Structure 1
Amino acid sequence: MNGPMIITLIVLIAASILFVSGKIRSDLVAIGSLIILMLFNILTPAEALSGFSNSVVIMMIGLFVVGGGIFQTGLAKMGSRVLLRLAGTSETRLLVMVMLVTSVIGAFVSNTGTVAVMMPIVVSLAMSAGTHPGKLLMPLAFASSLGGMLTLIGTPPNLVIQETLLQAGYKGLSFFTFTPIGIVCLLTGIIGLLFLRRFLPDHQKELGKGKKKGRSLKELAKQYQLTQNLFRVQVNKDSPIQSKTLLELDVSAKFEVNVIEIRRKISAKNQFFKTINQEIAGPDTVIHEDDILYVNGTFERAEQFAQHYGLTLLDHHVAERSGPQSEQSEQYATSEVGIAEVMLTPNSSLIGRLVKDSGFREKYRVNILGIQRKEQYLLHNLKEERMKFGDALLIQGTWKDIALLAANQANVVVVGQPIEESRKVTMDIKAPIAAGIMLLMVALLITELVPAVVAVMIAAVLMVVFGCVRNMEEAYKSINWESIVLIGGMIPMSIAIEKTGAATLLSEGLVSMLGGYGPIALLAGVYFTTSLLTMFISNTACAVLFAPIALTAAIQFGVSPYPYLFAVSIGASMCFASPFSTPPNALVMSAGRYKFSHYIKVGLPLQVFIGVVMVAVLPLFFPF
């Protein structure tokens, strides 16, 4: 072995140890490895930085943005509801369902694209079912690779061995030649994960770590009985309140209800971007025809108000109202408007003041919906209520105004984090647009009309342009940069391994060493050598490297090359033991809260288990 090869292998081993230990951030380890390889002139600066211009890295950035759009529009939540109805809340059924659906999509779409489409849905599904996302996301990533073995186009190594066979004069493979062995591979993966899932992040322990102070929007809505006190009335054509301000109408004094918000349709030329205008009601708010007023108060008072002014009451009595509470409470919170709980500080100048004199609406543009005083909730006739120390006030306003109130801590303290809460509220009206963009991306990936990276970038840009992602800042925040830097930093490692001859030395040495023990031993050698090396270089590069070696070894042995080339393809694709071995593994790392050790505990045994099964089964499908 030459000097550069020894240094490369030392760097690779050291990086692997640091990845497993988890004591240093994985992206820092990847960058540190690149610096060392540059200092020893093993990689040029251009080669070391080539990973960050690699199409896989650019595609991952785009896929994070697409995933953000699927999340923020509520499309993920809708998809998760469908799967939840089919699978129930059983963790076993959910795991099997997710893997089956993912593998079918992965048979026709790239595994990275498959994970991008499914990941937001699966996270939402896990949350709805009360399961830690980590229990389903790693199976999702692995299933996308398993699904790639079902068809000829499922994964690049399949096409590599097809080309190798054709160039050598052998009969090519049909579209579904892989399907029988792919089904065995998928079933083996599902069975293996059912036993290994115990090593995935635990629900109680992991979720408890990230828990923030403050109640969720759903919890606040339940505590303050919002769904029982919110009613919608629509302004009709002949209503006398048109063109009048709320100050002129003095609704709260006359009917003991508060108009807290107005939503009106806008005849926009750009209706794709926004179709509903939301406005927090204030004294100067002017009422227009077809406006929908959100009224807070008892049903009897809301009905009285509607009848007096000839308005249409869109909601029935509380006993007749249907739908899950979470859906009803969402009327109080959208991507622009939200609710929050505030506490009066000990020295607050608001203590002793009447709510109507507090200036909340005039100064901060927020409405007070309720007051919690010890164990009692005050929900009606709040204007005449005098505020006391220890009161918790439920307010509603735009997320921006609530955040401004949170910054002013002289009189009140906002419980929770308004900006973080605002990101959890979905823009359901944009869901059809997000679905259309996602289908366009999938169609482009299947038809290959444009390169995969172009298809993904088109989808990412469209998500921002059509408002499926709130703004460019949100688009950037949806990207997990640690994963991007990790993959970008590790891709050049494969250049160093090939450049120094380490890959060729390892592959040829193992094949020649095992060749004397018969075709099965050689098949195992080809499979596991490919499987080992694909942990450090891309599966496509690994297949390109090993396919001719496997073909030559089979010819020298006088046996059929088909099982050996299938071993190369499957071995290169079934890499689960590290987060940087495939883009799907890296994509789910952050959302699943995985450490490198999770991939070792779950992925490595699964990789070995599938390998053992494949070595035993391949000769049955493709005899020597």
Structure 2
Amino acid sequence: MFGPMILTLVILAIASVLFISGKVRSDLVAIGALILLMLFNILTPAEALSGFANSVVIMMIGLFIVGGGIFQTGLAKMVSRKLLKLAGTNETRMLIIIMVVTAGIGAFVSNTGTIAVMMPIVVSLAMSAKTNPGRLLMPLAFASSMGGMLTLIGTPPNMVIQEVLSAGGFNEISFFTYTPIGLVCVVVGIVSMLFLRRFLPQNEKDEGGRRTGRSLKDLAKKYQLMQNLYRVQVSAHSSIRSKSLQELDISARYALNVIEIRRKISAKNQFFKTINQEVAGSNTIIQEEDIMYVYGTFERVQEFAQDFDLTMLDHQIAENKRMSGTEQYATEEMGIAEVMLTPTSRLINRLVKDSGFREKYRLNILGIQRQDQYILHHLKEEKMRFGDALLVQGTWRDIAHLANESDVVVVGQPIEESRKVTMDNKAPIAVGIMLLMVVLLVSDVIPAVASVMIAAVLMIVFGCVRNMEDGYKTINWESVVLIGGMIPMSIAIEKTGAAALLSEGMVKVLGGYGPMVLLAGVYFTTSLLTLFISNTACAVLFAPIALSAALQLDANPYPFLFAVSIGASMCFASPFSTPPNALVMSAGRYRFSHYLKVGLPLQLIMGIVMVAVLPLFFPL
């Protein structure tokens, strides 16, 4: 048995060194360790691959999709705005508020579920406050674990020691027995993070901004979109009804460009799409209540509206109240992009009106940038030149198709830009799905993994995530493979007897030095082992040993079992030790070294405080 045990520990040591060095991708290291455990017959293929069937891994996949829905519907942005008002842009206040709120949720929801709710909000908050998300996401992950210590149901190890005490004939723990100790954990964690955050990734300027072209807001500002974009609504008495844009010839008569028409198609269910958007073409027939997006000077738009008995809409009132606050020039379906003419483009030296641009590409030209000059009006009579940048508007799909043409080069990535536009009208659905997930997780009516999977499927079915492909793109597969690959390592450590040997040896060595030393030994051995095996498995392994050791010394077993529960849960020094640590790794752009610099000191501080405090709550 010692041969497989030594091999397992050697593989674990090599993997740890590679994780710390950061020179090899973490998911590749995990798969490499997995392969070695199979090659040396330490694990069977079924055991080695069991990590990818583990409920934690499946939950992670589901949570990424749920998070994507919370982002894409703008729900994260809405909540983050409220937090931003409360915290301002002060990083210290943001960190404290995030950790307190997260710990509060974590008291009743699993730490993985807590991350699902909070991570999109925190990333959105960081972006709004122009702060590196890495400054806030690791504190978020740690706070979700600390919150689990506030109640009996907060984390699985709490339930494990409850069962062990009950089986041993001792009084069971009540729902809030953990609360005083949990509060100490949260306070220690927050205070420690205020000092340890210096080791988190620093705020950096976005070096990639230039590579992807101007943002939607930048384009709108440069081309003065909001100063030249007006909305008019067709009334019941308007003479424009039932006529095509070709008949009206608005561009020639008023020097205006009708770029888009939004039409109400259903009012039966407020949660589903009620506005149809389409690029205005020459054959478009105007209908009553249509909202026309007209590009041009205010005077000409006003003249146009008066001539045809149209209603000019106030800029602050959106045609669909749920869409208020979104950019009028970009939605989940329609967008804008900047394109450059290539040297061989057939559009060079052609007038805009003769280019057939709208007919061929189904896109409108809203403006032309020529060197430092912006041409925004009377575009139809403008001749296009090599080097011109054109601002075009239409559906994201058509803009993406334009990128395949040889006449122009699309600046930036249209599909990526379209994903940045939130579907605010779907936010109520996302709220409902998220609340359903939380209720299912708290009530424990069905398994947690099923609750998350239901929420993920509903996010896609109800369009909170645009489509299945977008759902797959929200998943960070590196984190999934990392956790799936490292879970079998805990099986190998237990199977080869390494875990049992360590725990029993600890009791033999420390038992003779008195209960306080043994308590410290139980806590820190549990804390060390939980770096390599799951906190639940660690608690299952150590709880009976701690109970037995306490009884041998004729000591109160409660502080020893609480030491097991807390030591197993307060694991911060490794990205794969808990699901929250792994979930924030990609979004925070953390390396293994960040967990060592921030998480390891926090884990040691928490251990020292807990060993000192536990005898105060439960005398030895």
TM-score normalised over the length of structure 2: 0.97
CA contact (8 A) 2:109 2:442 kept: yes
Does 1:589 pair with 2:589?
no
After TM superposition, give the deviation of residue 78 of structure 1 in Å.
0.5
Unpaired runs of 5+ residues, structure 1, are none
CA contact (8 A) 1:243 1:287 kept: yes
CA contact (8 A) 1:273 1:467 kept: no
Partner amino acid, structure 1, of 2:372? E
SS at match of 1:343: strand
After TM superposition, give the deviation of residue 328 of structure 1 in Å.
6.5
Does 1:460 pair with 2:456?
yes
In structure 1, what is the equivalent of residue 298 of structure 2?
Answer: 299
Give runs of aligned pairs for residues 476-491 of structure 1, distance below 5 A: 476-491=472-487
SS at match of 1:267: coil
After TM superposition, give the deviation of residue 301 of structure 1 in Å.
1.5
2: CA distance between counterparts of 1:411 and 1:532? 62
After TM superposition, give the deviation of residue 556 of structure 1 in Å.
1.1
In structure 2, what is the equivalent of residue 35 of structure 1?
Answer: 35
In structure 1, what is the equivalent of residue 219 of structure 2?
Answer: 220
CA contact (8 A) 1:63 1:113 kept: yes
Which deviates more from structure 2 when the two are superposed, residues 538-547 or residues 510-519?
A: 510-519
2: CA distance between counterparts of 1:328 and 1:165? 55
1: CA distance between counterparts of 2:618 and 2:326? 59
Does 1:18 pair with 2:49?
no
2: CA distance between counterparts of 1:491 and 1:455? 22
Give runs of aligned pairs for residues 447-526 of structure 1, distance below 5 A: 447-526=443-522
2: CA distance between counterparts of 1:564 and 1:46? 35
Partner amino acid, structure 2, of 1:355? V
In structure 1, what is the equivalent of residue 204 of structure 2?
Answer: 204
In structure 2, what is the equivalent of residue 571 of structure 1?
Answer: 567
After TM superposition, give the deviation of residue 269 of structure 1 in Å.
7.4
After TM superposition, give the deviation of residue 517 of structure 1 in Å.
2.1
In structure 1, what is the equivalent of residue 96 of structure 2?
Answer: 96
Partner amino acid, structure 2, of 1:63? L
CA distance 1:329–1:441, shift in 2 (3 Å):
closer
CA contact (8 A) 2:326 2:424 kept: no
Tell me the matched-pair count. 616
Give runs of aligned pairs for residues 435-454 of structure 1, distance below 5 A: 435-454=431-450
Does 1:355 pair with 2:373?
no
Which deviates more from structure 2 when the two are superposed, residues 384-393 or residues 552-561?
A: 384-393
In structure 1, what is the equivalent of residue 601 of structure 2?
Answer: 605
Deviation per CA, 1:578-624, whole angstroms, max 9, x where unpaired? Answer: 11111111111111111111111111111111111111111111111
SS at match of 1:228: helix
Which deviates more from structure 2 when the two are superposed, residues 209-218 or residues 48-57?
A: 209-218
In structure 2, what is the equivalent of residue 167 of structure 1?
Answer: 167
Does 1:77 pair with 2:77?
yes
SS at match of 2:207: helix
In structure 2, what is the equivalent of residue 266 of structure 1?
Answer: 265
After TM superposition, give the deviation of residue 345 of structure 1 in Å.
1.9
CA contact (8 A) 1:551 1:561 kept: yes
Percent identity (aligned): 76
2: CA distance between counterparts of 1:355 and 1:620? 81
CA contact (8 A) 1:227 1:328 kept: no
Does 1:393 pair with 2:390?
yes
SS at match of 2:328: helix
2: CA distance between counterparts of 1:243 and 1:557? 92
CA distance 1:210–1:506, shift in 2 (3 Å):
farther
After TM superposition, give the deviation of residue 449 of structure 1 in Å.
1.3
SS at match of 1:339: strand
Partner amino acid, structure 1, of 2:60? M
After TM superposition, give the deviation of residue 567 of structure 1 in Å.
0.7
Partner amino acid, structure 1, of 2:201? P
1: CA distance between counterparts of 2:209 and 2:155? 36
After TM superposition, give the deviation of residue 238 of structure 1 in Å.
2.1
Partner amino acid, structure 1, of 2:365? I
TM-score normalised over the length of structure 1: 0.96
CA distance 1:581–1:389, shift in 2 (3 Å):
same
1: CA distance between counterparts of 2:586 and 2:236? 52
2: CA distance between counterparts of 1:208 and 1:562? 54
2: CA distance between counterparts of 1:210 and 1:376? 22
Which deviates more from structure 2 when the two are superposed, residues 265-274 or residues 291-300?
A: 265-274
Which deviates more from structure 2 when the two are superposed, residues 550-559 or residues 345-354?
A: 345-354
Does 1:332 pair with 2:329?
yes
2: CA distance between counterparts of 1:329 and 1:413? 27
After TM superposition, give the deviation of residue 347 of structure 1 in Å.
3.0
SS at match of 2:481: helix
In structure 1, what is the equivalent of residue 312 of structure 2?
Answer: 313
Does 1:51 pair with 2:47?
no
CA contact (8 A) 2:266 2:275 kept: no
1: CA distance between counterparts of 2:260 and 2:231? 10
1: CA distance between counterparts of 2:325 and 2:554? 71
1: CA distance between counterparts of 2:324 and 2:136? 25
Deviation per CA, 1:312-370, whole angstroms, max 9, x where unpaired? Answer: 11126x9x99xxxx987711111111111111223322222111112211110111111
CA distance 1:197–1:210, shift in 2 (3 Å):
farther
In structure 2, what is the equivalent of residue 239 of structure 1?
Answer: 238
SS at match of 1:204: coil
SS at match of 1:100: helix
Partner amino acid, structure 1, of 2:159? L
Deviation per CA, 1:447-503, whole angstroms, max 9, x where unpaired? Answer: 111111111111111001000010000011111111111111111111111111000
CA distance 1:98–1:17, shift in 2 (3 Å):
same
CA contact (8 A) 1:227 1:329 kept: no
SS at match of 1:352: coil
2: CA distance between counterparts of 1:549 and 1:329? 59
Give runs of aligned pairs for residues 416-427 of structure 1, distance below 5 A: 416-427=412-423
2: CA distance between counterparts of 1:538 and 1:276? 49
In structure 2, what is the equivalent of residue 543 of structure 1?
Answer: 539
In structure 2, what is the equivalent of residue 615 of structure 1?
Answer: 611
Partner amino acid, structure 1, of 2:36? I
Partner amino acid, structure 1, of 2:313? L
2: CA distance between counterparts of 1:506 and 1:208? 48
CA contact (8 A) 2:271 2:428 kept: no
SS at match of 2:285: coil
2: CA distance between counterparts of 1:487 and 1:312? 58
2: CA distance between counterparts of 1:285 and 1:62? 42
SS at match of 1:263: strand
Which deviates more from structure 2 when the two are superposed, residues 298-307 or residues 438-447?
A: 298-307
SS at match of 1:233: strand
2: CA distance between counterparts of 1:372 and 1:540? 61
After TM superposition, give the deviation of residue 274 of structure 1 in Å.
2.6
2: CA distance between counterparts of 1:73 and 1:329? 11
1: CA distance between counterparts of 2:356 and 2:467? 31
SS at match of 2:220: helix
1: CA distance between counterparts of 2:185 and 2:517? 20
Deviation per CA, 1:396-455, whole angstroms, max 9, x where unpaired? Answer: 1111111111111x3221111111111111111100001100000000001111111111
Partner amino acid, structure 1, of 2:401? L
After TM superposition, give the deviation of residue 511 of structure 1 in Å.
2.4
SS at match of 1:338: strand
CA contact (8 A) 2:349 2:385 kept: yes
CA distance 1:443–1:22, shift in 2 (3 Å):
same
In structure 1, what is the equivalent of residue 68 of structure 2?
Answer: 68
